[in-house]
Chain A
């Protein structure tokens, strides 16, 4: 649809995203070792042919753990974006299209919420709900609603003033039809872009929370959690920290490169 699609950034980004997604998908069905299987004889072993990313202080295979952990991180990211995206789009569409008092109240609330860093809000939620995978999803999902609502709302405000919407009204289309059949497809580029950004932010937030031991709980592996465990052995086994960290960087980089070009 866009001409710039062949741009360098987009191509490189696409390759990275495909590679990371493939890696995670394989991790869902197959890992070379049991991600939680300990091996006392092989503590903090350096990368080798048998263990390409080495082993950690319990002798667990880092590659297998990263595959599994990335799966958890992706799962959290996707669920978060789904919650935030769907509710945010609905709210944004309705408030943007109709305006009025409801819109005003909601947007004031929205302005207030988005001025706070999401990690801080996540900490508040977790301190109330308690840590855990599903609590993190719920917390991040709710926290991401305002940013989606805001983007979609402003798009609806612009679009509803366009003459094609007036035409649709004149021919007798219902508000529902105008909102979701006529206008929604026009918000696609901006919606896709904010979904990508949202996913990246969710990955970073999950990693941060798990790093603080407030996110995903053991025995579930997650990239952030692996990093916090690895830090104690940074001197003797730096590879345990590097593998999950680099995977996070690649994921975020890939999606942002693809998005850069689309947006």
Chain B
């Protein structure tokens, strides 16, 4: 396919040297003639040194004017490198090679540094994953967006400001005149990403590259940012390359998608093709690994693990009127501390043997609730009974939850020392037993956390939590930091262990998909309160609270 397009665009250039294709709208999609970008045999490598690596391996693809192309793959698949290579923004030490990168009538392999600079920003713009760090902290956002106009347009100061404010408005920023004079740290994550989009779009580029634009944002905001990108694509005919690890995001707004794995494109096709009839094994695992509400048949979800709460009758932990307040920083020398309630008057029970989900966006108080139940927070009001519950926790970040200075063996033996197991031989035997149980080779006892992958570390964290034989395990976003394929494995492990040890889980996540897959009951939390509690199936079929509906609507289909 790319062969023919490549020929076509060369033809085009010959016929119309230097000419720009006329502005196109999204509907206009004739084959070939409106080709915007054709990449042939692009590679990115880090040569020299001990770790020579090819991160992008001879890939070819093309893009039409006004098209939205997704590039999907797990971390390290080379998708971001592809984007940076197109922009000519690779770091020192990375080498780009390609037979041709034809963009808008020019071969990016042959343009001078100066011409490339002019293309960047004017006809090809990019937005990044982290809107906080991607903006310069010491200039106002208005200033930074205006810089685009300074570089690529001849406008007076007044005109520039006017146009910047317009761009803000178009990017859906309210009070755009006021936001103009603000610094990045004064804006929310969603606002910052909107500023980035306004900046990228202000010169009306032909191509917008969005590298994981919603990954750092809360789910409800994610959906709005994606809608904005789609809207700009339709209205201005800007082609978009959307890079994501999340098939849901890709499915939401892309026309076509490439699937990348280890630097290569393993599959390509329209969204319908990829989702209904994936050809490659890797794509299939990727699709299977996505814990999907809409994909999974109800029988499996509810039949296998989830059952009505009625089955569990014994209350293990009972939380009544729990409030946790944080004291803010004192304002100056004589100021008062501001008190904010992270959790405010919540009640719920955890039944013996169930998996209770706690879902909500970041900052809704779910982690604080977990810490209070675990006993890591003393300054709460209300009651949590019984007092002798002694749960263990598994945390989100498997890098931080294992002491980096100690071996896996030491980490697993430490709780046994606390319990008074005197003989070292017994402790070692027990540690090995647990390693085997979580599916790790016993030799790993001698290794350090840094020698393990994220999934393996999380297995160790689970083993360490089990070793004291708790009844309740609190899982605080246990799979959020992991790649989707690893996520599925860890969730399976958790299910198995629960059955074997008769455990009860309090499972905290921001991800409705994961919650749906594993929980028996779900509490939906927002702004420190629980707004709804129901079985996951019921919740989806019949959400009672407005916030639950919002949360469900924001899950990418």
Contact = CB atoms under 8 A, between A and B. Distances in A.
| Direct A/B contact, Cβ within 8 angstroms | yes
Interface of A: 162-164, 166-173, 182, 185-186, 188
A169 B390 CA distance: 11
Nearest to B375: A170
10 contacts: A162-B400, A163-B400, A166-B376, A167-B393, A167-B401, A171-B414, A171-B464, A171-B468, A173-B418, A188-B405
A163 B399 CA distance: 9
A170 B392 contact: yes
A162 B399 CA distance: 9
A170 B376 contact: yes
A185 B355 CA distance: 37
B402 interface: yes
Nearest to B418: A172
B374 interface: yes
* Residue in B391, B403, B406, B414 whose Cβ sees the most chain A Cβ within 10 Å: B403
B402 A164 contact: yes
A186 B405 CA distance: 6
Contacts of A167: 392-393, 395, 401, 461, 464-465
B508 to A, nearest CB: 13
A186 B376 CA distance: 22
Given A164-B402, A164-B403, A188-B405, A169 B376 contact: yes
B347 interface: no
Given A170-B375, A171-B414, A186-B405, A164 B400 contact: yes
A170 B401 contact: no
Interface of B: 371, 374-376, 390-393, 395, 397, 400-406, 414-415, 418-419, 461, 464-465, 468
The 4 closest A-B pairs by CB, nearest first: A163-B401, A163-B395, A185-B405, A171-B415
Nearest to A183: B403
B395 A166 contact: yes
Nearest to A167: B401
A188 B419 CA distance: 28
A122 B400 CA distance: 41
Contacts of A188: 405
Given A167-B393, A170-B376, 4 more contacts: A163-B395, A167-B392, A170-B392, A172-B419
A168 B392 contact: no
Contacts of B419: 172
Contacts of B404: 164, 186
A114 B461 CA distance: 41
A163 B371 CA distance: 11
A185 B391 contact: no
B204 to A, nearest CB: 45
A170 B400 contact: no
A262 to B, nearest CB: 16
Contacts of A182: 403
Contacts of A185: 403, 405-406
Contacts of B415: 171-172
B403 A171 contact: no
B391 A173 contact: no
Contacts of A171: 392, 414-415, 418, 464, 468
Contacts of B397: 163
Contacts of A168: 403, 414
B402 to A, nearest CB: 6
B482 to A, nearest CB: 15
A170 B372 CA distance: 12
